[in-house]
Copies of this chain bind each other. A is one copy, B any other.
Amino acid sequence: MSASRLQEEIKKKEPFASAEQEATLNLLRTSDQLHNRFGRLFRKYGLTSSQYNVLRILRGEGKALPSLEIAERMIQVVPAITGLIDRLEKQELVERRRCNDDRRVVFVEITEKGMTLLSEMDQPVSDTHVQLMGHLSKAELQELSRLLEKARMSLAPGKEKEA
């Protein structure tokens, strides 16, 4: 049996302890590389990956969202959102608005400037998606999505194993 491609890539001398471990490391490595690649694209427009993500969520929603809603959709811890919104606001890509009904809540909304920036990025982003994953067939892409969704089933919130 020849060594796996991943094993060669990271120059690992021993084979993987399990298929589970190999799949997980493959996943983390592929994701890192994709993240890097998109990060470089976004930087050309003055954004980081997280900032782009927030703008996409806000555009997709079409209206203002509470900070916590945004954090939830990004799998991120709450404290990180504050600074993220701060920087987007400084660039005038989003606006904060205190909610009147519940003054604890801060609504965040994308601005015209933010929408314009996203529009400029749409084509390059779309092109990059195809460039990076287009060599997989539609059937392979669907199967990949299916397997990833299945993988996430054990990761749902609340499924944490207690020590």
A residues in contact (CB < 8 Å) with B: 4-6, 9-14, 17-24, 26-37, 40, 44, 57, 60-62, 73, 75, 126, 129-136, 138, 140-145, 147-155, 160-161, 163
Query: A20's contact among B14, B75, B134, B150, by CB below 8 Å, is which?
Result: B134
Q: Which residues of B contact A149 (CB under 8 A)?
A: 4-6, 26
Query: A75's contact among B17, B29, B138, B163, by CB below 8 Å, is which?
Result: B29
Most chain B CB within 10 A, of A27, A130, A133, is at A133
List 19 interface pairs A-B (beta carbons < 8 Å), by A numbering.
A6-B145, A19-B145, A20-B132, A20-B134, A23-B133, A23-B144, A24-B133, A27-B31, A27-B144, A28-B35, A30-B151, A31-B31, A36-B75, A37-B160, A44-B163, A132-B155, A140-B147, A144-B147, A144-B148
